[in-house]
Amino acid sequence: MIFTMEDKKKIMKLKKAIRELEAIKGRHTELVSVYIPAGYDIIKIIQHLEQEQGTASNIKDKNTRKNVIDSLERLIRFLRLYKSTPENGLAIFCGDASLSENKTDIKVWSIEPPLPLQIRLYRCDQTFLLEPLKEMMNVRDNYGLIILDNREATIGILNGTLITTIVHMTSGVPGKIKAGGQCLNPETLIQLTDGSIIPIKNSSMPCLLKSANLNNKSIEDSAILNKWENKKEVTYKIITKFPRLEIEASKDHVFFTNSFEEKSSSELKIGDHLLMPEKIEVKGSAQILHPEEHKTLNLPKVLNKNTAQILGYFLGDGNYEEDRLTFSERDKSTLVKYQSLIRKVFNASTSLRFRESKNYYQLRVYGRALVRLFRNEFPEINKALDSQIPIKVLKSHDEILKSFFKGLFDAEGYATKDELSIGMNNKILIHQLQLSLLRFGIIGSLCTYDNRCNPYSKKTRYTLRITEKQSLKNFQKNINFTFKDKRDKLTKLIKNRTEKNYIRFFNKKDY
């Protein structure tokens, strides 16, 4: 690629900025990097950063929490100065540039890159993420691309990792038609009648799943009659706006619009409205546990509400050790309440201490029999990125599931002026949560922050956002928070939320 004199000036300026940013080292994961791609709505970035402020309030280390929140606030104020995203996108960085541990100097750096940015990214780390900018300084060759299908063709240019489309053409000549093709991504989650939520690849005959009957406009139990693997590539990703849902399907997979019209993936267009259930009824059943006999510990033989709530809190803020369960929390009052509940339910010995080096409180619950109960009966709770909602919780009656959600939201959930949210790095867990909350008429959007395909970020964050007023009311009625501060924020959010929504279009008499 040949650079003009103006391009060379921009690259020299970019090199200088990168050297300056490389010299900044954070004491913890407190340096914020934000990449906004060319043409992206800058208002959405501001909304994302406002949400991250709520998430940052859960950071246990006091100094790190303050620096991250202050940096995000500076970035938000800075971005409000822009009416729109610059032509090639924008890279902004913010953090403590002070060389002294006793002083704080929050600074903002902004860079308008010489080439269009292709990634949207948010990262907190001990160093600024600069690799996307460094790549732009490399001299690159141009390559012509021609992509052909039986009915379509696209011609473009590849410059480094940047693909520019020149022309897209289609043909009216029909391609060959053969059986199959109506497939979904094997990782797509489905709701079974017993409450389980599993990937479609793990389904089998003759299990029952929840399905729509459009003749009487209801959700019914339906048996799987056949299942086959299709090597054909899944080519379409459909993303809805209110709520935000994602599904990957072949071009022939059928969807239903709000006018009950059938449309294949290839026929869908921006502006179509798709049907989804407002609520899914699951009967559930009592789940038997098999604890060891113990002289002092009270170990339940049936999964009850108190155990489910502790289990939900454990999934959010706990971990196993050989002879104890450990919970970590920045707010002491939270752990004190759960310490009291755990003593009441299990009659277990506990200790609560403040870890000054980590700046958070730690609750230890002793008893190998209790640890083995959690491990054996709820093996789905594992490492953070691998954990899932336990099958025995999903199969339980609604009252048990409500208690589990209360504990999980006590640990990881939060309410802001705009939304009720819960965020994790575990997509399947958040997706399971999104589906299972439909049992209570709570509709949430699954949002992805950072780019999973981006080679510079290995930890994509997934957030379930609940913004619609009726869903917020349903959450408050059925689940709510244990702690007054969070309950009050939720009440204020509901009070200030308008009745207007883009989710529930149908009159309940009609649907």
Other CB atoms within a 10 A radius of the CB of residue 299 amount to 21
Q: Does 392 share its domain with 483?
A: yes
Q: Does 199 share its domain with 169?
A: no
Q: Does 70 share its domain with 147?
A: no
Residue whose C-alpha is closest to residue 493's, from 475, 469, 471: 469
Strand order in the sheet with 90-96: 106-111, 90-96, 31-36, 121-125
The domain that holds 389 is classified in CATH as 3.10.28.10
Q: Does 51 share its domain with 162?
A: no
Q: Give domain status of residue 433, yes or no.
A: yes
Tell me which amino acid residue 144 is.
Answer: G
Q: Does 487 share its domain with 362?
A: yes
Q: Does 481 share its domain with 391?
A: yes
CB-CB contact of 395 with 194 (8 Å): yes
The domain that holds 199 is classified in CATH as 2.170.16
- Tell me the pLDDT tens digit for each residue of 284-330: 999 999 999 999 999 999 999 999 999 999 999 999 898 999 999 99
- Tell me the pLDDT tens digit for each residue of 124-133: 999 999 988 8
Say how many domains are in the chain: 4
Q: Does 387 share its domain with 464?
A: yes
Global pTM? 0.66
CB-CB contact of 183 with 234 (8 Å): yes
The domain that holds 81 is classified in CATH as 3.30.960.10
Q: Give domain status of residue 87, yes or no.
A: yes
Tens of pLDDT, residue by residue, the chain (511 residues):
445 566 677 778 888 999 999 999 988 889 999 999 988 999 999 999 998 988 888 888 888 899 999 999 999 999 999 989 999 899 999 999 988 878 889 999 999 988 888 889 999 999 999 988 888 776 556 677 787 765 567 887 766 555 667 777 765 444 443 444 468 888 899 999 999 999 988 887 778 888 887 777 788 888 887 777 776 666 889 999 889 999 998 888 888 888 778 888 889 999 899 988 899 999 999 999 999 999 999 999 999 999 999 999 999 999 989 899 999 999 999 999 999 999 999 999 999 999 988 889 999 999 999 999 999 999 999 887 889 999 999 999 999 999 999 999 999 999 999 999 999 889 999 999 999 999 999 999 999 876 555 554 467 889 999 999 999 999 999 999 999 999 999 999 999 999 887 787 544 433 3
Residue whose C-alpha is closest to residue 109's, from 204, 31, 214, 7: 31
Q: Does 91 share its domain with 219?
A: no
Q: Does 487 share its domain with 382?
A: yes
Which range marks the domain in which residue 254 is found?
189-267
Q: Does 221 share its domain with 161?
A: no
Q: Does 126 share its domain with 261?
A: no
Residues 488, 176: Cα–Cα separation, whole Å: 60
